Structures are given as structure tokens and as C-alpha cells.
Amino acid sequence: MSIKTISILGSTGSIGCSTLDVIEKTNNNFSNGIGDVKFEIVALTANRAHRQLIEQAKKFKPKMVVLVEKEHGDELISELKPLGIKISFGSDALIEAAQMQSDMIMAAIVGAAGLGPTIEAAKRGANILLANKECLVCAGEVFLKTAKQNGAKILPVDSEHNAIFQVLQNPNEVEKLILTASGGPFLNTNIDNLYNVTPEQAVAHPNWQMGRKISVDCASLMNKGLELIEASMLFEMPEDRIDVLIHPQSIIHSMVSYKDGSFLAQLGTPDMRIPISYCMGWPNRLQIDSPRLNLAQIRNLEFHAPDNNRFPALGLARLAMRLGGSATTILNAANEVAVNEFLNCKLPFMQIPTIVCKILDMAQGNGNIVALNDLSEVFNADEWARAKTFEELSK
Ligand code: NDP
Ligand code: MG
């Protein structure tokens, strides 16, 4: 029997809730004599979903909770303090939560906001269950170096990278990585109509239930662009050896091709609890009740090349990868601002890649693409790009 301790950064989000579901089921299994792993929660964190955080804390009894926006902090104090749960507020408290001793940490905050606390967990050598791809996109080299120096193991939660992690045998024999992409809700929408799509249409992903920001990224294929960068960092693979393949059913989660012409793929239903539980149980698998794949019922799996005109984000991500250094940080920051503006109905959907392209061009022209040696340089590049994007949007 083993008891594993875990903290969840971003417990109120889509990945956070799926992680709690895996914990609940695994602990129930344990009580019923199935499996020999039980999880105890050290810290849960949220940005502003205070009611949801309170309910999670009452149910899962962590040692600590963090709420970044303390507007409703008094409710946390009155309901959770009597349970002996430590309560902290503000973004500095995320660092405190990440520093608390635990075997593993689920990094599931959305955006560059997840970077600081996740690096903090890497500094203490925890297993990092990495959903927050922004750590690798914005600060890949700094993050990986910190993890390596402190013996922190990075376990990729993102379904494509998790698939590759599962089928990667001998890295020296790999020819290519093939990231699959569903193509999102606008795969077959007439390009002319893409100028008028609403946030609600963009977040209605055909296969996956996710947070709003990543759902918009899936619709523009910027998510796949960010995943190209993530894969290149994680698996030390150059840009030209990572392909993207549209696969609308989201059954094959990604593939690795080898020098003898063999392709290895990982398949499963589109359920994030599968990659989450793989990381939580690693190097073993947990028993979970995800819907099983029925290929006889599905019958057809389709594949085709991505349309780069419809989805310019892919080309932008590849450009940023070739430029290296701060280029991917800048790409991510400009995209975060633009997506937020789109979600607030202040920017048309097709303007998202246009504005990201402008900011990347500007960075190249101004000599802002530089090597990033530490976290403060990463934050500087991120701030520069956000400020420039706002400036551009206000014109
Ligand atoms: P959600 O938007 O559903 O959840 C985000 C979580 O982060 C919430 O707990 C939210 O708190 C918290 N949060 C948001 N902003 C801040 C902030 N500034 N400071 C601290 N906490 C914050 O996102 P997802 O779960 O969909 O995604 C999380 C990460 O995982 C992203 O990086 C995404 O790219 C990645 N990912 C997600 C997948 C998915 O299926 N959802 C698949 C693969 C990767 P609150 O609820 O209070 O707002
Ligand atoms: Mg993914």
C-alpha cells in the first residue's frame, strides 16, 4: 500500500476537477480493496471561484487552500477555518502552496500565471504533472533546467504529449513526432464566416470539455501551435521533425514514427482523466472508469493535413520556434491578451492570429527576440508583449 500526497494548482478548473474525480475514484477503490494507492491532498488553489473551492475543501480536506482574489475571503475563513484548513490569499500564496511538501503537484492553472508556482514546485524536486503548457512555451529552457537541477520529474498531462510519453521507446531511433488535432469547431466552417463567430461558438469544442481559453485556442489551432513548442521542449525535437495531423475523432492522441517505418500511437476516448491518471499513477496505471473505446462502433478514423490559410496560428508558432528565445514567450503573451479580448467580444476571432503576427514582427524588428536566462527575463518578455498587444489593440 502507498499513500501519495498531491497539491492541485487550479483545482476549480476543468483539469483540476478531473484530477479530483480521479482522486475520489481511486480512494474509493482503495477502500474497497481495489488497487494499493491512496491520495491525500496537501493544497488546493483557485483564482476567484470561492464557492467551488469551499465545497472542494470540505469534501477533500486539504491542509491548505489558496484563493488569489480575496473578495469573498471571509466565507472561506468562516467555513474552512473550523476544519483546521490553512487559508491564504493573493498570488504570493500560490508560491507558498507550491512549496508545501507533496509527492506531486498538478499544474493546472491556465496561462502564464501558472509559471511562478510550478517552477517553485520544480525547485523542491516534486513530480510535476504538467497541464499548464505555458511553462514550456514561455519559459521552456529555464523551467527544464530548474527541474533537472532539482530532480523534478515532468509528467505531461496534455493528451498529445502524454500519448507520446507513453509510446516513446528509444529517443535516438525516433524519426518524427506526429501531434494529432481535432481541428476544433470551425474545421469545416466557410472561411468568410469565421470573421463573425461568437465566443460561445468558439468554445463549443466537438470532442473535449475544457476551459474557455484553451477552447478558443483549439478553434484557432493556436493550441496546436503551443503544443508544437511544448513537444519540442519536452522531447528535445526540432521543429521540422514534429508534424501536425488533423484527426477529427480525437481517438489517436498522437504518434511517434521510428527509423524503421514503424508508427506507435496511443488511443483512447477523449477523456482527460486518462492522461491525468497516467501521470498520477506513473510508473503504474490506476484503475479508472473512463468510457472504453469501441472501435467496431466508431468504424472510421479520418486524417488530413491542416489548412494553413484557415489556421495561420500554426505557421506563427513554427516561426516563433525557429526564432527561439523570447519569441515563444511573446507569441503566448500576445495570444493570451487577444483571446481574452475575443472572449470579451472586443476583437473578431480572425484578428487573433493577425495581432499575434504583428507583435512577433514588431519584436523581430525591435531586437526583442533574445535568449532568456532566468525567470525575471521571461516575465520581462511576457510584460513587453502584453503591453504592446494592448497598445496595438487600442489603435
Ligand atoms: P480552466 O479555465 O478550466 O481552469 C483554470 C484554473 O486556473 C482554475 O482553477 C482557475 O481558477 C485558475 N486560474 C485562472 N487564472 C488564474 C490566475 N491568474 N491565478 C491563479 N489561478 C488562476 O482551465 P483548464 O483546466 O482547461 O486548463 C488548465 C491548463 O491545462 C491550461 O494551461 C491548459 O492549456 C491546460 N490543458 C487543459 C486541457 C483540458 O482538457 N482542459 C487539456 C490539456 C491542457 P477559477 O476557477 O477561480 O477561475
Ligand atoms: Mg492537448
Closest by CA to 217, choosing from 288, 107, 130, 316, is: 316
For atom 23 of ligand 1, the residue with the nearest CA is 211
Residue 345 host element (H or E)? none
Assigned domain for 170 exists:
no
290 SS3 class:
coil
**Torsion of Cα atoms, 97 then 116 then 353 then 323, to 10°:** -150
pTM: 0.97
Mapping DSSP onto H, E and C, the string for 118-177 reads HHHHHHCCCEEEECCCHHHHHHHHHHHHHHHHCCCCEEECCHHHHHHHHHCCCHHHEEEE
CA of 42 to the centre of ligand 1 (A): 19
Given pLDDT bands bounded at 50, 70 and 90, which one contains residue 208? confident
Closest by CA to 9, choosing from 61, 84, 75, 67, is: 67
Q: Is 90 in the pocket of ligand 1 (CB under 6 A)?
A: no
Q: Is 51 in the pocket of ligand 1 (CB under 6 A)?
A: no
- Tens of pLDDT along 358-382? 999 999 999 999 999 999 999 999 9
Q: What is the CATH number of the domain that holds 147?
A: 3.40.50.720
Assigned domain for 297 exists:
no
Ligand 1 atom having least distance to the Cα of 215: 26
Mean pLDDT, the chain, integer: 97
Location of C-alpha cell 481535432: 182
CA of 217 to the centre of ligand 1 (A): 13
Strands 127-130 and 252-258: unpaired
CA of 14 to the centre of ligand 1 (A): 7
For the residues 234-257, what does the mean pLDDT come to?
98
For atom 30 of ligand 1, the residue with the nearest CA is 131
Residues 159-169 as b/e (b if ≥16 CB within 10 A, e otherwise) read: bbbbbbbbebe
Tell me: pLDDT of 111 over 90.
Answer: yes
Amino acid 34: pLDDT = 94
Amino acid 256: pLDDT = 98
Eight-class DSSP state of 110 = -
Assigned domain for 215 exists:
no
Amino acid 21: pLDDT = 98
- Number of domains composing the chain: 1
Amino acid 336: pLDDT = 98
Q: What percent of the chain has pLDDT over 90?
A: 97
CA of 184 to the centre of ligand 2 (A): 12
CA of 177 to the centre of ligand 1 (A): 26
- Tens of pLDDT along 38-53? 999 999 999 999 999 9
215 SS3 class:
helix
- Tens of pLDDT along 100-109? 999 999 999 9
Which of 11, 45, 75, 210 for mutating ligand 1's site (highest number of atoms within 8 Å of CB)? 210
Assigned domain for 100 exists:
yes
- Tens of pLDDT along 308-358? 988 999 999 999 999 999 999 999 999 999 999 999 999 999 999 999 999
Assigned domain for 72 exists:
yes
Which of 15, 72, 207, 335 for mutating ligand 1's site (highest number of atoms within 8 Å of CB)? 15
Q: Is 164 in the pocket of ligand 1 (CB under 6 A)?
A: no
Spatial distance between the Cα atoms of 180 and 186, rounded to a whole number of angstroms: 16
Amino acid 373: pLDDT = 97
Closest by CA to 160, choosing from 177, 173, 174, 146, is: 177
Q: Is 76 in the pocket of ligand 1 (CB under 6 A)?
A: no
Assigned domain for 139 exists:
yes
Assigned domain for 53 exists:
yes
CA of 112 to the centre of ligand 1 (A): 10
Assigned domain for 17 exists:
yes
Domain region containing 118: 2-156
